[in-house]
Amino acid sequence: MLGSASQTPTRTRNHNGYLLRWDGDGVLFDPGEGTQRQLLLAGVSPWSIGRICITHLHGDHCLGLPGVVQRLSLDRVAHPVDLHYPESGRPFVDRLLHAAVFDEHADVRQVPVRAPGVVAVTPAFTLRAVRLEHEPETFGYRLEEPPGRTMVPELLAAAGVHGPAVGELQRAGTVDVGGRRVHLDEVSMPRHGQAVAFVMDTRRCDGALELAQDADLLVCEATFTTADAALAHRYRHMTAAEAGRLAAQARARRLVITHFSQRYPDETVLLEEARREFGDVVAARDLERVPVPPRRATQPGSASWPAGVSPQ
């Protein structure tokens, strides 16, 4: 959590900024003003950033982009960094990328989002964008890990598969052991791919629900309390209670609320409101780290583990 403020930063909250560490990948969401310094305070190297996703071009979600990009160049980050943002915001992004004089050494590749759908596919995840209801044009993002298989130690032992043969089985799908061919599905169980949803400035809408559906981690704006619901409606934002209800309806596993209005110096009031609607809620605090819940062993609704067998 690099920043948890909304339009106006406070003494304890920086503008937005969220870095998702996904195995060897780092996805930076909505780098607001001051993100470069927050990365330093969080102990995050610019080399960790492999992709930047901007939901919309309000300043609290993008004014940190020039500093981040110039830092990538200063440190001569060698890998390309893809930059996703709503296509309608291209004029603003072009200006942000060239807001000051600097030596350009980083390969920042613009990949504007023109319509909802898949915007990137990597071996580790698929990244989708879904339209939200805010002004200007806004997209939320959902990162999904491909489903896979989890090896079951007891079944491996019963089949006589051990040592290097386990790796061969995972790579090839079959392995010959003691004159018998063992198939992967005999010694493993389906593994649900993890999903992380990022729902920023929006009111409750179908797009927000689509993003949040069955997410292991849902990062969601909760700008106002219910007492200020009229303001939330006017400016197309959500209350903390609405964020909680969204998580409950979507059957998410953990909710992180953020993007707090400066009118609430203590986020506890927002946290308590969200928790009345949903159990596992974390109120974002700058520079804190929130773990993605451990992956589920089986697909939602599928059979449980066999009796006496434990997942690895």
Query: Mind spelling out the 3-state secondary structure of 72-93?
Result: HHHCCCCCCEEEECEHHHHHHH
The amino acid at 47: W
280 is catalytic: no
ω into 136 cis (within 30 of 0): yes
Decide: 113 and 87 in contact? Cβ < 8 Å: yes
* Closest to 247 in 3D by CA, of 204, 285, 193: 204
- Choose, from 30, 60, 82, 216, the residue flagged as catalytic: 60
Query: Distance of alpha carbon 247 from its chain centroid, rounded?
Result: 15
Q: Which of 27, 28, 44, 34 is nearest to 13 (CA)?
A: 34
**Distance between CA 65 and CA 50 in Å, rounded?**
14
Catalytic residues, by residue number, are 60
